[in-house]
Structure 1
């Protein structure tokens, strides 16, 4: 009888102990876009598994492909108080509802308690509230074979050029390659002037360029930025199509190609590097037009929970560490928000693209992405007026464009 009582008591104690252990296991609710057929799903899920084992917690993850229905569900969950503890989501206008409502923590506030939070992420791509993982970048692809004189080669000692230096370099390259028939420094297709339009606007008007355009004297400011194309008119190949101009660059005929990181995959030339866009306005520095358009957020809901705050911070740090970002860019491609996170078997062009980010001063989306749908095309259609300094035509197009930007 005594043995039976002892056995019952021991069983009861075991149940209580098990219940206590179960109660202490914290559950972290997460959401991301690393679902479906995403190439980085395996990296994300393996990182979660390691995180659970390291911290003895349970991660309840609801990741899906980032279609419109999924976006709406995420926003709706914030509206109903069902937001997760950590989420990977878009930045910019898409995230504005929960950012403006104060439902996610800012990097600044997190660093008051965790000063090293996201310290490995390049400042130029770090969001105000989100920590990015991978994205794309745009820059000037440079054929170094055309730098023949010592004077031209001296420009390669600089990390970034000013606008005046860039123009002077173009003039010197024309001299260096005077014996090359039809040579022009800059590849430029008339049907795709987008990269030059976007970069000149950002470089001249700064990181808040879109609001500047819509503000006081916006028409004049935007027009003047676009007319800077006329300052390099003599150095543009000004081919009828971008298809021709980009192929000519790939064939080694032009020196500069302003393009996105995806262009790098087409390059077979040996002596190519990448430079950030020149500094047009010293007040702002060099712009980086980049596709780091998503990142990890910590919700205020998790931050205010003493059992989850530290875990939420550590979860984001695990997902955005140099080691994890290296895996992301190796499996899924793109470029890491930490410029030291290199994909395996990195090519010289990939390395050059990766190192553009830390040399830039601020990051923005292209004007075409910021514009109201259908309005940007009006600027593209009159690109010749920017190149040829036809101010009246340019101003008329700019006026129509700005009138189309409605909140």
Structure 2
């Protein structure tokens, strides 16, 4: 991931963007000159035109896999966009979208290894893409532009993430992400605590947590035995800067390694102060999220996708926005994660970490190449991207102004929060992946209870990382 610039967006009409090029036109262009049977352009100056018989294009079934599924707020937007594209082109999508987790990541990697990869994949552009990029299984944007010069031309290339493998750009982004702190204002009001602002410090946060605990609530909704990821990330970030946060330590003894130890010890300190739920080591992430939405916990660090999850929790029917309890939703807001040291609260973790890949399998299929390009062009057009990006980020060169009436109150608060962000930094855990994270992720319960030191856990993880 690269650092990203935020763009606040308006959902527009879902129409197909028309592209033209000097060598090969996009499949959305229907204005090409008529052809003769020999394949050359028909004469227009006094000569009779000889047009080849028009053959009906064969409908193509495109195999597509995305992460627009489950509670992802864009799952309905994706489903509607697919239906509209199918209706306008006559082609169909065999969709195998699923919520991203370690099981799905393993499945995607296996599909590429077995030769059963999809034609189009909406996926991560960091380490999770390394294996199939190294194997030459996906097409770079530059290679696609050799045939389709206008491909992704509506995007700011500087904001398209480059592969960790070869520095080339493969995935055309749609929407980015941020990680911030959601707040249950009902709990804060009961504890006499103000909603944190852009200058919120770690010391202020600790003082507020103490007040919240004394009022009988859990200050922090987090399942350290299940999902310690966000607190792991931000407490380490608090001992670094946006410039060096993604540097992996060489050893636990160096300056960067000690910043990791200090950050994880901050999580231990929060645990010892009893600022997490009493069952934080045995609870699931779903359990602690429920505590947050049911007014039992004050603060929740999570990603921009959680806006949809919180809205769903305020609906009598999670799948029907018309059943929204707006008064309940209004009691939630989102703000900055408390800062410490050289990291300002307004420096957030985020970026444009995912995008659409066209696989070489589809590219080499004469029936699917045009269709795959057309599908990605449609899903990444100026009209479609704003529907997905909403309160997050995009790489569009031209972002429409925001019509806040199109969004619910939490989305609007997210937009306001994002307008004050000073930087977006990639998550270092997306680089520090696999077994190397086990000692500090899965081992967090042992660390916070003092059975294993943070230094030993970090040392174990770094040794595994550098051995690979």
What is the TM-score with the length of structure 2 in the denominator?
0.54
Q: How far does residue 273 in structure 1 lie from its aligned partner after superposition?
A: 0.4
Mapped to 1, the partners of 2:94 and 2:86 lie a distance apart of 12
Contact 1:219 1:398 (C-alpha < 8 Å) held by counterparts:
yes
* Alignment partner, residue 229 of structure 1: 267
Gap change, CA 1:247 and 1:49, over 3 Å in 2: closer
TM alignment of 1:290-369, pairs within 5 A: 294-297=354-357, 316=376, 318-321=378-381, 323-325=383-385, 337-338=393-394, 346-353=407-414, 359=421, 361-365=423-427, 367=429
Q: Distance in 1 between matches of 2:382 and 2:424?
A: 21
Could you give the per-residue CA deviations for residues 3-62 of structure 1, whole angstroms, max 9, x where no partner exists? xxxxxxxx999994126x77xx9x999864269998634512523664x6xxxxxx9887
- 1:91-123 Cα deviation digits (max 9, x unpaired): 22343356567951379x99x99997325x996
Q: Compared with structure 1, are the counterparts of its residues 396 and 246 closer, same or farther at alpha carbon in structure 2 (3 Å cutoff)?
A: same
Matches within 5 A, 1:33-112: 33=65, 40-47=78-85, 50=88, 64-65=95-96, 88-97=122-131, 99=133, 103-105=139-141
Q: CA 1:220–1:76 in 2, change beyond 3 Å: closer, same or farther?
A: same
Match of 1:239 among 253, 263, 277: 277
Counterpart residue number, 1:252: 295
Aligned position for 1:220: 258
Number of aligned residues: 360
Contact map agreement 2:172 2:357 (CA 8 A) in 1: yes
Note if 1:266 corresponds to 2:327. Answer: no
CA contact (8 A) 1:30 1:61 kept: yes
> Shift of the alpha carbon at 1:324?
1.9
Instruction: Specify whether residues 35 and 132 from structure 1 end up closer, same or farther in structure 2 by C-alpha distance, changes over 3 A only.
Output: closer
* Higher-helix-fraction structure: 1
* Farther off after superposition, 63-72 or 138-147: 63-72
CA distance in 2, matches of 1:103, 1:64: 20
Once residues 288 and 118 of structure 2 are traced to their aligned partners in structure 1, the CA distance between those partners, rounded to angstroms, is 48
Contact 1:138-1:288 at 8 Å conserved across structures: yes
Quote the offset at 1:347 in angstroms: 3.4
* Cα displacement (A) at 1:139: 2.8
1:200 and 2:220 matched: no
Match of 1:186 in 2: 220
Partner residue, 2:154: 117
> What is the rounded CA distance, in whole Å, between the counterparts of 2:402 and 2:63 in structure 1?
24
RMSD of the alignment, in Å?
5.8
| Contact kept in structure 1, 2:435 and 2:461, CA below 8 Å | no
Larger CA Rg, structure 1 vs 2: 1
Task: Name the TM-score, length of structure 1 as normaliser.
Answer: 0.61
1:235-264 alpha-carbon deviations (Å, 9 max, x no partner): 652333144755543343442122351652
Relative contact order, CA 8 A, sep 6+: which one is greater? Answer: 2
Range moving further from structure 2, 30-39 or 265-274: 30-39
